[in-house]
Structure 1
């Protein structure tokens, strides 16, 4: 066999631990042997449907065993998997399918019912609907042939196109090769001692890179078991952690916030958890300390879809000492912080550049965007960070989120960290808004803890003791919740539309 790609993983793992549960959904296990058999049969079905090497197969559905099977089946053929955000509206979905040139759309029946007025209803594409049935929902497309396929898959071959969340401008299709994802898994396993007895809870959406590449793939490589949940439910998640003795958890800030606010969080048995990973935006220290009080350090890192995503990691041993940091570079990743083309000094902010075998070769069908994103082998992330004297990185903000007030650069994340230190603040965001006198000034959007009373003067007085005067927001807006996308990423662009 010449297959060195991700599609070969089901065969390699099935010959090692065939009876071990690879995936569990709704209490029904799928063994590694069943996963390999299902992916192989589906690959033959896709080939019969006309899918060949390089063809794009799109998937539109919630987390499911069918999604995992379809992904491995596509990889076995040398096809390109295109997982799509389930929150996409019709025009957004049509753009992703058209731009990727998808030959086939595998779609969960609930999102594609004949009477549906949803985004799939009017699409003109070969479509295969399915209903989640413990991994057998795609049986009608699969063949009975279980012989291994003979495709020669190399690490440089394209594995996936993941569309960015599109918080600004048209979403771009990030190309990830088999090698990008595999090197990312190696990076993670150098930093984290995952074992074959791992029980990973997968509640974040698999159409985004973090849950897929930081949790599912490492768990499968090590021969652990992934509990696949269609959607995130904090109450159910705590129940599963207790009942199934979950060892590995992944979430973003909004998910950890929801778990901490769940009714049984304070007394729930979380002793089985030895690792909680986070991604996306930095978690505020107040929330980190809430979890520390439950005996669990949330391991933060820094990454982005274009890096598959892992770039830096704050290892557990340094978790308390460097609380709030994103850590240092992963083993096979290199990071620079620059202004222009010059590396900055210690504690001086600059743009993060990354390089390594986990970094994308570029954007699908967009040579201009690819050229703008790279300087040689270095990818421009658009994120601003500082490094301390020990080399630990702290992400300050997005380059596009920074605003200039009276000639001074203001990084909203710095103000947000100060807001989170107030006991009434559950979640917050700061943006720059136009101002006749100063060009731009800050506006804070705040979600309060239950029972807390809105008091903008108290919040501003709290900030005045912690940040420079020019960084103080000029207004505070209280909201019941902040807008997030399906992966939990805060959508700041929408806040600009909220009237004060």
Structure 2
């Protein structure tokens, strides 16, 4: 059988270009031979701990070579890689570990306190630190030097699961999207084709690899094509500008905030960025001010849309269409189809708003342990129902009109209001709550909580922050709390979030609008520092 898994990629790169520089991480550098050898050793470490095909291996840690070694090692032995968002609170980490059924955990020591409750709750058999120094638990560096039974790898099929990526759930609990080797392969191919990634690429990877965007459209296309990854633990604008100049970076990916912070840095004008050939941006539209600043330096953006369930790329907007098709998220990726349908699943005419559906080899297998939710998410023919509303123009370019699921994107992070609303609703005195996204110059959007209280109750923004801290990631906690008498509601009693967004997204501080009567009679704005 031919190995169709992504675990074969490092072996192929070692065979074809063993001395090509694959990865740079601070002072550490790896050729493709060294990179593949490290992956083989981590695969052996997992194998001798009885990690086999189908077993889940969780990972939590900042960007590092060990993240990539573990990913490809899992793929080699048929294990399923489960990266965990480092910004999650302990209860959220515990949910991921228990829901995924992970048998092993590889983790940075900095996250020990956050993961240990989940290790116990999930009954994880093996915990492996990414560094040495913990008595009784040798880290990967030591384990990789110990003798083992030799190289271990099995042939994988395209449809075998490769990873479970957890995405915030509309019902409050994150769902595990199961991505196959086919999904990750075709996402990387889509990216390589539509963004023109080549073997000469030197890509600066500054976004967290636990996000499917940084992984599926950053690291994986570079390995597939045999380019060089310059990996950073995190993003700092001054450091990124320094690397662009010194490492002659050719490709940079990020969210709008990333590019804004680079432009706003004091070294922006003096930094030599002439090596850059392509910029890719996701999460939300790039503001005109940022477009202008980069265009003045001779560079445009490739933009697009996607989600965890599409590995993540669904559409792409080439740089030459940024201005003529401003506001669009582009056309389908090369190996992807997109359509817009009505409630009955019928394709609507161009220019008509409907639900965006996506089909292709990059569309995920389904939600882990949620067959009913998976079935609800697909139409006949493998069309995934994105939950986003939009339309196709006469040229086939997609425009997103609204988010059916009310998702908020803040600094590239997805926030589902239901998760936050459930926690706020439990605060004593709260009679109603709606969390919406409000435009923010730095983060694109930030969450605001619109809250009604029972008579005589008091609630401050600080109390909301205190209640939510430790329960959910910090970026999900509302920046502003608005106290209102009541909410605009539908005939069935549901809160009309569209009305709330119209009310509060027009300016940084809401103002009274004619015709908005009783619900807005009392309005107190409280913003945390």
Question: Structure 1 residue 347 and structure 2 residue 351: aligned?
Answer: yes
Choose the corresponding residue for 2:119, options 123, 127, 135.
123
2:470 maps to which residue?
none
2:360 maps to which residue?
356
Q: Matches of 1:264 and 1:400 in 2, distance apart?
A: 40
2:426 maps to which residue?
none
Question: Structure 1 residue 387 and structure 2 residue 392: aligned?
Answer: yes
Secondary structure at 1:397's aligned position in 2? strand
1:154 maps to which residue?
157
- The answer to whether the 8 Å contact 1:41/1:144 transfers is no
Secondary structure at 2:141's aligned position in 1? coil
Give deviations 1:422-480, integer Å, cap 9, x for gaps: xxx885568795775853433577899xxxxx7767xx9xxx9xxx999xx98896968
- The answer to whether the 8 Å contact 2:205/2:218 transfers is yes
Q: Which moved more, 1:378-387 or 1:299-308?
A: 378-387
Q: Matches of 1:437 and 1:50 in 2, distance apart?
A: 55
Choose the corresponding residue for 1:281, options 261, 271, 284.
284
Q: Matches of 2:207 and 2:506 in 1, distance apart?
A: 22
Structure 2 CA distance for partners of 1:165 and 1:428, relative to 1, 3 Å: closer
Q: Matches of 1:132 and 1:397 in 2, distance apart?
A: 48
Q: Matches of 1:179 and 1:338 in 2, distance apart?
A: 26
Give deviations 1:280-300, integer Å, cap 9, x for gaps: 223333332332233221210
Structure 2 CA distance for partners of 1:438 and 1:128, relative to 1, 3 Å: closer
- The answer to whether the 8 Å contact 2:202/2:248 transfers is yes
| TM-score (norm. length: structure 2) | 0.77
User: How much does 1:122 deviate?
Assistant: 6.4
1:256 maps to which residue?
259
Secondary structure at 1:88's aligned position in 2? coil
Secondary structure at 2:140's aligned position in 1? coil
Secondary structure at 1:342's aligned position in 2? coil
User: How much does 1:395 deviate?
Assistant: 1.7
- The answer to whether the 8 Å contact 1:180/1:357 transfers is yes
Q: Matches of 2:405 and 2:310 in 1, distance apart?
A: 19
| TM-score (norm. length: structure 1) | 0.81
User: How much does 1:87 deviate?
Assistant: 1.3
- The answer to whether the 8 Å contact 1:3/1:150 transfers is no
1:8 maps to which residue?
8
Secondary structure at 1:139's aligned position in 2? helix
Question: Structure 1 residue 371 and structure 2 residue 367: aligned?
Answer: no
1:87 maps to which residue?
87
1:38 maps to which residue?
38
Q: Matches of 2:341 and 2:377 in 1, distance apart?
A: 14
Question: Structure 1 residue 60 and structure 2 residue 65: aligned?
Answer: no
Q: Matches of 2:324 and 2:528 in 1, distance apart?
A: 34
Give deviations 1:1-43, integer Å, cap 9, x for gaps: 7322110111100111111111110132111101111111111
Q: Matches of 1:91 and 1:30 in 2, distance apart?
A: 36
- The answer to whether the 8 Å contact 1:25/1:228 transfers is yes
2:217 maps to which residue?
214
1:485 maps to which residue?
none
Residues 480-495 of structure 1 aligned to structure 2 (within 5 Å): none
Give deviations 1:464-499, integer Å, cap 9, x for gaps: 9xxx999xx988969689xxxxxxxxxxxxxxxxxx
Choose the corresponding residue for 1:337, options 318, 335, 340.
340
Choose the corresponding residue for 1:398, options 384, 399, 403.
403
Q: Matches of 1:73 and 1:208 in 2, distance apart?
A: 19
User: How much does 1:166 deviate?
Assistant: 4.2
Choose the corresponding residue for 2:141, options 139, 143, 153.
139
Give deviations 1:341-384, integer Å, cap 9, x for gaps: 23233332221100111101101111111011111211111112
Residues 145-224 of structure 1 aligned to structure 2 (within 5 Å): 147-166=150-169, 169-224=172-227
Q: Which moved more, 1:163-172 or 1:242-251?
A: 163-172
Q: Matches of 1:269 and 1:478 in 2, distance apart?
A: 43
User: How much does 1:319 deviate?
Assistant: 2.5
Secondary structure at 1:382's aligned position in 2? strand
Q: Matches of 1:261 and 1:167 in 2, distance apart?
A: 35
Cα RMSD (Å) = 3.2
Q: Which moved more, 1:268-277 or 1:78-87?
A: 268-277
Note the residue ranges of structure 2 that are not aligned, 5 or more in a row. 409-435, 451-483, 490-495
2:303 maps to which residue?
300
Structure 2 CA distance for partners of 1:60 and 1:343, relative to 1, 3 Å: same
Q: Which moved more, 1:163-172 or 1:368-377?
A: 163-172
User: How much does 1:335 deviate?
Assistant: 0.6
Give deviations 1:139-182, integer Å, cap 9, x for gaps: 32335459543412111111000001347510000000001110
Q: Matches of 1:228 and 1:148 in 2, distance apart?
A: 26
User: How much does 1:261 deviate?
Assistant: 2.1
Q: Matches of 1:240 and 1:255 in 2, distance apart?
A: 15
- The answer to whether the 8 Å contact 2:310/2:363 transfers is yes
Q: Matches of 2:163 and 2:487 in 1, distance apart?
A: 48
Aligned length: 445
1:75 maps to which residue?
75
Structure 2 CA distance for partners of 1:145 and 1:189, relative to 1, 3 Å: same
Q: Matches of 2:500 and 2:234 in 1, distance apart?
A: 34
Q: Matches of 1:105 and 1:187 in 2, distance apart?
A: 31
Structure 2 CA distance for partners of 1:32 and 1:357, relative to 1, 3 Å: same
2:235 maps to which residue?
232
Q: Matches of 1:294 and 1:263 in 2, distance apart?
A: 16
